[in-house]
Amino acid sequence: MRLALLVLAVVALLVSSVAAQARYPKSVVILTTHSSPGGGSDVFLREMAPHLSRVMGITVVVENVAGGSGARAMAMMAKAKPDGGTFYATTPTFIYTSLLSSPAARYTDLEPIVNVFFDPEVLYTAASSRFKTLQQVIDQARGGRGRWGAGNPASLERQALERLKQRAGVSPVVATFEGGGDMLINVLNQTLDMGIGELQEIRGQLDAGRVRLLAVVGDERLMQFPDVGTVKEQGIDLSVRKFRGLAGPKGMPREIVAAWEAAVPKLLADPAYRQLYTRNNLQPGFIPHAEYVKFMSDFGGQTQAFLKQSGVIR
Protein backbone atom coordinates (compact mmCIF):
# COMPACT_ATOMS: atom_id res chain seq x y z
CA MET A 1 0.00 0.00 0.00
CA ARG A 2 1.33 3.30 -0.90
CA LEU A 3 -0.50 5.56 1.50
CA ALA A 4 1.24 7.17 4.32
CA LEU A 5 0.36 9.20 7.35
CA LEU A 6 0.55 9.30 11.06
CA VAL A 7 -2.39 8.67 13.24
CA LEU A 8 -2.47 8.82 16.97
CA ALA A 9 -5.23 6.85 18.51
CA VAL A 10 -5.65 6.50 22.18
CA VAL A 11 -7.18 3.17 22.89
CA ALA A 12 -9.92 3.60 25.39
CA LEU A 13 -9.71 1.00 28.06
CA LEU A 14 -10.77 -0.14 31.43
CA VAL A 15 -7.88 -0.20 33.81
CA SER A 16 -10.09 -1.19 36.71
CA SER A 17 -8.97 -4.80 36.85
CA VAL A 18 -5.25 -4.23 37.01
CA ALA A 19 -3.48 -7.17 38.54
CA ALA A 20 -1.00 -6.40 41.27
CA GLN A 21 2.42 -6.35 39.68
CA ALA A 22 5.66 -4.45 39.45
CA ARG A 23 4.94 -0.97 38.17
CA TYR A 24 6.11 -0.14 34.66
CA PRO A 25 7.89 3.25 34.58
CA LYS A 26 5.58 4.66 31.92
CA SER A 27 1.81 4.96 32.05
CA VAL A 28 1.49 5.35 28.27
CA VAL A 29 3.41 3.22 25.78
CA ILE A 30 3.39 4.01 22.08
CA LEU A 31 3.81 1.18 19.60
CA THR A 32 4.87 2.53 16.20
CA THR A 33 4.27 0.63 13.01
CA HIS A 34 5.32 1.35 9.45
CA SER A 35 2.04 -0.18 8.33
CA SER A 36 -0.62 2.30 7.33
CA PRO A 37 -3.98 2.08 9.10
CA GLY A 38 -5.89 -0.95 7.95
CA GLY A 39 -2.73 -2.77 6.87
CA GLY A 40 -1.79 -6.16 8.28
CA SER A 41 0.48 -4.99 11.11
CA ASP A 42 -1.81 -2.14 12.01
CA VAL A 43 -4.86 -4.33 12.46
CA PHE A 44 -2.80 -6.80 14.46
CA LEU A 45 -1.46 -4.11 16.81
CA ARG A 46 -4.82 -2.47 17.32
CA GLU A 47 -6.30 -5.80 18.28
CA MET A 48 -3.44 -6.49 20.66
CA ALA A 49 -3.35 -3.04 22.29
CA PRO A 50 -6.35 -3.34 24.64
CA HIS A 51 -5.24 -6.77 25.87
CA LEU A 52 -1.67 -5.65 26.37
CA SER A 53 -2.93 -2.61 28.24
CA ARG A 54 -4.95 -4.81 30.55
CA VAL A 55 -2.16 -7.29 31.20
CA MET A 56 0.49 -4.64 31.86
CA GLY A 57 -1.70 -2.09 33.61
CA ILE A 58 -0.70 0.68 31.23
CA THR A 59 -2.25 2.42 28.23
CA VAL A 60 -0.93 1.13 24.93
CA VAL A 61 -1.34 3.41 21.93
CA VAL A 62 -0.76 2.52 18.28
CA GLU A 63 0.90 5.10 16.07
CA ASN A 64 1.37 4.78 12.30
CA VAL A 65 4.61 6.14 10.93
CA ALA A 66 4.19 5.02 7.36
CA GLY A 67 6.41 6.05 4.48
CA GLY A 68 9.63 4.78 2.97
CA SER A 69 8.62 1.18 3.73
CA GLY A 70 9.64 1.56 7.36
CA ALA A 71 12.59 3.92 6.82
CA ARG A 72 10.79 6.79 8.51
CA ALA A 73 9.67 4.74 11.49
CA MET A 74 13.19 3.34 11.97
CA ALA A 75 14.77 6.79 11.82
CA MET A 76 12.30 8.07 14.39
CA MET A 77 12.82 5.11 16.67
CA ALA A 78 16.62 5.31 16.53
CA LYS A 79 16.40 8.88 17.83
CA ALA A 80 13.80 8.20 20.54
CA LYS A 81 14.70 8.14 24.24
CA PRO A 82 15.22 4.62 25.60
CA ASP A 83 12.79 5.19 28.47
CA GLY A 84 10.30 2.44 27.65
CA GLY A 85 7.76 4.91 26.27
CA THR A 86 8.04 4.03 22.57
CA PHE A 87 8.67 0.83 20.70
CA TYR A 88 8.68 -0.22 17.06
CA ALA A 89 6.63 -3.19 15.93
CA THR A 90 9.01 -5.37 13.95
CA THR A 91 8.29 -7.44 10.86
CA PRO A 92 10.76 -8.69 8.24
CA THR A 93 9.97 -5.55 6.22
CA PHE A 94 12.29 -3.40 8.32
CA ILE A 95 15.20 -5.70 7.57
CA TYR A 96 14.46 -5.72 3.84
CA THR A 97 14.18 -1.93 3.75
CA SER A 98 17.45 -1.56 5.67
CA LEU A 99 19.23 -3.74 3.15
CA LEU A 100 17.58 -2.55 -0.07
CA SER A 101 17.86 1.20 0.37
CA SER A 102 20.15 3.38 2.40
CA PRO A 103 17.81 4.71 5.08
CA ALA A 104 18.91 7.15 7.77
CA ALA A 105 18.69 4.37 10.36
CA ARG A 106 18.96 0.63 9.79
CA TYR A 107 17.68 -2.34 11.69
CA THR A 108 21.08 -2.60 13.32
CA ASP A 109 20.54 0.85 14.86
CA LEU A 110 17.64 -0.53 16.88
CA GLU A 111 17.65 -2.85 19.88
CA PRO A 112 15.45 -5.94 19.48
CA ILE A 113 13.45 -6.36 22.73
CA VAL A 114 11.29 -9.48 22.53
CA ASN A 115 9.38 -11.43 19.91
CA VAL A 116 5.67 -12.03 20.32
CA PHE A 117 4.27 -13.96 17.34
CA PHE A 118 5.09 -15.81 14.19
CA ASP A 119 2.85 -15.42 11.16
CA PRO A 120 2.54 -18.77 9.45
CA GLU A 121 3.41 -18.71 5.76
CA VAL A 122 1.64 -21.30 3.66
CA LEU A 123 1.85 -22.62 0.12
CA TYR A 124 -1.52 -22.91 -1.53
CA THR A 125 -3.29 -23.49 -4.82
CA ALA A 126 -6.81 -23.14 -6.19
CA ALA A 127 -9.23 -25.79 -4.93
CA SER A 128 -10.22 -26.50 -8.54
CA SER A 129 -6.62 -27.00 -9.65
CA ARG A 130 -5.31 -30.46 -10.45
CA PHE A 131 -2.52 -30.14 -7.93
CA LYS A 132 -3.31 -31.98 -4.74
CA THR A 133 0.12 -32.00 -3.10
CA LEU A 134 3.27 -29.94 -3.04
CA GLN A 135 5.09 -32.80 -4.75
CA GLN A 136 2.78 -32.57 -7.77
CA VAL A 137 3.51 -28.86 -8.07
CA ILE A 138 7.23 -29.52 -7.87
CA ASP A 139 6.97 -32.30 -10.44
CA GLN A 140 5.19 -29.91 -12.77
CA ALA A 141 8.02 -27.43 -12.30
CA ARG A 142 10.64 -29.96 -13.33
CA GLY A 143 11.63 -28.98 -16.81
CA GLY A 144 10.66 -25.36 -16.29
CA ARG A 145 6.93 -25.57 -16.76
CA GLY A 146 5.94 -24.36 -13.31
CA ARG A 147 4.51 -20.97 -12.42
CA TRP A 148 4.76 -19.84 -8.82
CA GLY A 149 3.81 -16.53 -7.28
CA ALA A 150 4.86 -14.31 -4.37
CA GLY A 151 3.13 -11.13 -3.25
CA ASN A 152 6.05 -8.70 -3.47
CA PRO A 153 9.34 -8.61 -5.40
CA ALA A 154 11.88 -8.34 -2.56
CA SER A 155 10.22 -10.02 0.36
CA LEU A 156 10.45 -12.97 2.70
CA GLU A 157 7.94 -14.79 0.50
CA ARG A 158 10.03 -14.31 -2.64
CA GLN A 159 13.10 -15.45 -0.76
CA ALA A 160 11.28 -18.59 0.41
CA LEU A 161 10.22 -19.50 -3.13
CA GLU A 162 13.71 -18.91 -4.54
CA ARG A 163 15.15 -21.18 -1.86
CA LEU A 164 12.46 -23.78 -2.49
CA LYS A 165 13.52 -23.75 -6.15
CA GLN A 166 17.15 -24.32 -5.21
CA ARG A 167 16.54 -27.02 -2.65
CA ALA A 168 14.03 -28.94 -4.78
CA GLY A 169 16.27 -28.55 -7.82
CA VAL A 170 13.54 -27.24 -10.12
CA SER A 171 13.27 -24.07 -12.19
CA PRO A 172 9.73 -22.73 -12.36
CA VAL A 173 9.15 -19.05 -13.08
CA VAL A 174 8.44 -16.96 -10.01
CA ALA A 175 6.12 -14.04 -10.67
CA THR A 176 5.75 -11.24 -8.15
CA PHE A 177 2.81 -8.93 -7.67
CA GLU A 178 1.67 -5.76 -5.94
CA GLY A 179 0.57 -7.52 -2.79
CA GLY A 180 -1.00 -10.77 -1.72
CA GLY A 181 -4.51 -9.93 -2.93
CA ASP A 182 -3.29 -9.24 -6.43
CA MET A 183 -1.56 -12.61 -6.47
CA LEU A 184 -4.52 -14.46 -4.99
CA ILE A 185 -6.56 -13.61 -8.12
CA ASN A 186 -3.92 -15.29 -10.24
CA VAL A 187 -3.93 -18.39 -8.07
CA LEU A 188 -7.72 -18.55 -8.21
CA ASN A 189 -7.83 -18.25 -12.01
CA GLN A 190 -5.00 -20.78 -12.20
CA THR A 191 -2.52 -18.54 -13.94
CA LEU A 192 -0.25 -19.72 -11.15
CA ASP A 193 0.26 -23.29 -9.99
CA MET A 194 1.00 -22.17 -6.47
CA GLY A 195 1.25 -19.07 -4.34
CA ILE A 196 2.85 -18.31 -1.01
CA GLY A 197 1.31 -16.02 1.58
CA GLU A 198 0.19 -15.45 5.12
CA LEU A 199 -2.74 -17.55 6.22
CA GLN A 200 -4.63 -14.38 7.16
CA GLU A 201 -4.63 -13.09 3.57
CA ILE A 202 -6.44 -16.12 2.19
CA ARG A 203 -8.83 -16.72 5.09
CA GLY A 204 -11.94 -15.63 3.13
CA GLN A 205 -11.19 -18.02 0.27
CA LEU A 206 -10.11 -20.78 2.61
CA ASP A 207 -13.38 -20.60 4.55
CA ALA A 208 -15.28 -20.85 1.27
CA GLY A 209 -13.24 -23.85 0.21
CA ARG A 210 -11.81 -22.18 -2.89
CA VAL A 211 -8.14 -22.60 -2.10
CA ARG A 212 -6.26 -25.70 -1.02
CA LEU A 213 -3.34 -25.57 1.41
CA LEU A 214 -0.34 -27.51 0.14
CA ALA A 215 2.20 -27.04 2.90
CA VAL A 216 3.26 -24.93 5.85
CA VAL A 217 6.55 -23.10 5.39
CA GLY A 218 7.51 -23.34 9.05
CA ASP A 219 8.90 -25.73 11.61
CA GLU A 220 5.57 -27.00 12.88
CA ARG A 221 2.12 -27.77 11.58
CA LEU A 222 -0.66 -25.29 12.33
CA MET A 223 -3.08 -26.06 15.13
CA GLN A 224 -6.05 -25.01 12.96
CA PHE A 225 -4.98 -27.23 10.06
CA PRO A 226 -3.35 -30.30 11.59
CA ASP A 227 -3.66 -32.24 8.30
CA VAL A 228 -1.41 -29.90 6.37
CA GLY A 229 2.21 -30.99 6.52
CA THR A 230 5.28 -28.77 6.60
CA VAL A 231 7.68 -28.41 3.71
CA LYS A 232 10.34 -30.10 5.83
CA GLU A 233 8.15 -33.18 6.30
CA GLN A 234 8.12 -33.49 2.52
CA GLY A 235 11.87 -33.77 2.56
CA ILE A 236 12.84 -30.23 1.60
CA ASP A 237 14.86 -28.33 4.17
CA LEU A 238 13.04 -25.00 4.11
CA SER A 239 11.43 -23.00 6.86
CA VAL A 240 10.82 -19.28 7.17
CA ARG A 241 9.62 -17.41 10.18
CA LYS A 242 7.78 -14.16 9.66
CA PHE A 243 8.22 -12.55 13.04
CA ARG A 244 6.21 -9.94 14.88
CA GLY A 245 7.90 -8.43 17.90
CA LEU A 246 9.21 -5.24 19.44
CA ALA A 247 12.36 -3.21 18.99
CA GLY A 248 13.39 0.03 20.63
CA PRO A 249 16.17 2.58 20.69
CA LYS A 250 19.63 1.42 21.75
CA GLY A 251 20.47 1.56 25.44
CA MET A 252 17.19 0.27 26.79
CA PRO A 253 17.46 -0.22 30.60
CA ARG A 254 17.61 -3.80 31.82
CA GLU A 255 14.48 -3.52 34.02
CA ILE A 256 12.31 -2.34 31.13
CA VAL A 257 13.43 -5.26 29.00
CA ALA A 258 12.69 -7.55 31.97
CA ALA A 259 9.21 -6.07 32.32
CA TRP A 260 8.45 -7.00 28.69
CA GLU A 261 9.97 -10.45 29.10
CA ALA A 262 7.55 -10.97 31.97
CA ALA A 263 4.53 -9.40 30.31
CA VAL A 264 4.56 -11.05 26.88
CA PRO A 265 4.18 -14.69 28.08
CA LYS A 266 1.37 -13.47 30.34
CA LEU A 267 -0.28 -11.77 27.36
CA LEU A 268 0.02 -14.90 25.25
CA ALA A 269 -1.56 -17.00 27.99
CA ASP A 270 -4.46 -14.60 28.53
CA PRO A 271 -7.61 -16.58 27.62
CA ALA A 272 -9.52 -13.72 25.98
CA TYR A 273 -6.59 -12.71 23.80
CA ARG A 274 -5.68 -16.31 23.11
CA GLN A 275 -9.09 -16.87 21.55
CA LEU A 276 -8.61 -13.80 19.33
CA TYR A 277 -5.15 -14.57 18.04
CA THR A 278 -5.93 -18.23 17.51
CA ARG A 279 -8.83 -17.18 15.32
CA ASN A 280 -6.43 -14.95 13.39
CA ASN A 281 -4.01 -17.84 12.87
CA LEU A 282 -1.12 -16.26 14.73
CA GLN A 283 1.35 -18.58 16.39
CA PRO A 284 2.60 -17.49 19.79
CA GLY A 285 6.32 -17.11 19.44
CA PHE A 286 7.79 -15.52 22.54
CA ILE A 287 11.57 -15.04 22.32
CA PRO A 288 13.36 -13.41 25.27
CA HIS A 289 15.70 -10.49 24.73
CA ALA A 290 19.10 -12.20 24.57
CA GLU A 291 17.91 -14.79 22.05
CA TYR A 292 15.97 -12.21 20.07
CA VAL A 293 19.08 -10.13 19.47
CA LYS A 294 20.77 -13.18 18.03
CA PHE A 295 17.64 -14.17 16.07
CA MET A 296 17.50 -10.75 14.48
CA SER A 297 21.14 -10.63 13.52
CA ASP A 298 20.91 -14.16 12.05
CA PHE A 299 17.81 -13.20 10.11
CA GLY A 300 19.50 -10.04 8.85
CA GLY A 301 22.61 -11.98 7.89
CA GLN A 302 20.68 -14.65 5.97
CA THR A 303 18.60 -12.06 4.16
CA GLN A 304 21.67 -10.08 3.24
CA ALA A 305 23.35 -13.19 1.95
CA PHE A 306 20.30 -14.04 -0.16
CA LEU A 307 20.02 -10.54 -1.60
CA LYS A 308 23.74 -10.42 -2.38
CA GLN A 309 23.79 -13.86 -3.91
CA SER A 310 20.90 -12.98 -6.18
CA GLY A 311 22.51 -9.68 -7.11
CA VAL A 312 19.77 -7.43 -5.75
CA ILE A 313 22.29 -5.58 -3.60
CA ARG A 314 26.07 -5.39 -3.58
Partner 1 sequence: MFSATLITVVAAFAGVSWGILGGALPGISPSITMALLLPLTYSMDPTAAIVMLASTYVGAEYGGSIPAILIRTPGTNAAAATVIDGYAMKQQGRAGEALGISLYSGFVGGLFGLGVLVLLTEPLSTLALAFTPPAYCALGVLGLSVIASLARESLVKGLMAGVIGLMISTVGTDPVTGLSRFTFGSPDLLSGVPAILVMVGLFAVGELLVQSTERGWVQPAPERARIRFPGPALWRRIALPQAIGSVIGTFEGLMPGGGGAVSSFLAYNEARRWSRHKEEFGHGSPEGIAAPEAANNTVACTALVPMLSLGIPSSNSAAVLLGGFLMHGLIPGPMLFVSHAEVVDGLYAGLLAANIAMVIVGYVIMGPCIWLVSRPRPYLTAFIYALVVSGVFAIETSLFHVGLVLAFGVVGFGLRYVQAPLLPMVLGVVLGFMVESNYRRALVLSSGDHMTFLQDPVSAVFLALALLFVLGSVIGHARTRRRQA
Partner 2 sequence: MTRDLGFGCAGLALAGGYYALAAAIPDSALADAVGPAGLPAIYAFVLAGLSLILIAQSIRGRPVAPVSAAAPTAPASASASQALLRPVGLLLMGAVYVSVVSSLGYVVSLAGLIFAVTWYQGGSVTRQAAIVSVAGAALFWVLFVRLLGIPHPPGVWPDLF
Binding residues for partner 2 (CB under 8 A): 5-8, 153-154, 158, 162, 309-312, 314
Decide whether 59 or 230 has the Cβ nearer to partner 1: 59
Q: Which stretches of the chain bind partner 1, using CB under 8 A?
A: 1-7, 9, 11-12, 36-39, 42-43, 46-47, 62, 64-69, 71-72, 97, 100-104, 144, 147, 152-155, 158, 173-178, 181-182, 184-186, 188-189, 191-192, 202-205, 207-208, 210, 279, 312
Which are the contacts of 246, defined by CB distance < 8 A and separation ≥ 6?
Answer: 31, 87, 88, 89, 90, 112, 113, 114, 115, 116, 260
Instruction: Pick what 177 binds: partner 2, partner 1, none; C-beta below 5 to 8 Å, kind-dependent.
Output: partner 1
List 64's β-bridge partners, or say none: 33
> CA-CA distance, 24 to 256, in Å (whole number)?
7
Q: Provide DSSP, 53-88.
A: HHHHTSEEEEEE--SGGGHHHHHHHHHS-SSSSEEE
Which among partner 2, partner 1, none contacts residue 314 (Cβ within 5 to 8 A by kind)?
partner 2
Least distance (Å) between residue 305 CB and partner 1 = 16
DSSP β-bridge partners for residue 304: none
CA distance 74 to 218: 27
Residue with Cβ nearer partner 2 (67 or 265): 67
Q: Which is nearer to partner 1, 43 or 293 (CB)?
A: 43
Give which of partner 1, partner 2, none residue 181 binds (C-beta under 5 to 8 Å, depending on kind): partner 1
Shortest Å, Cβ 96 to partner 1:
8
Q: Residue 6 phi/psi, 5° resolution?
A: -130, 125
State how far the Cα of 182 lies from the Cα of 188, in Å rounded to an integer.
10
> Whole-number minimum distance, CB 32 to partner 1, in Å?
13
**Checking DSSP bridges between strand 194-198 and strand 121-126, what pairing results, if any?**
antiparallel
**Closer residue to partner 1 (CB): 47 or 83:** 47
Residue 112: count other Cβ atoms within 10 Å of its Cβ.
26
Taking the complex as a whole, the smallest distance from the CB of residue 150 to partner 1 amounts, in Å, to 10
Nearer to partner 1, 115 or 176 (CB): 176
Residue 4 or residue 262: which is nearer to partner 1 going by CB? 4
User: Three-state SS for 269?
Assistant: helix
CB of residue 305 vs partner 2: minimum separation in angstroms?
13
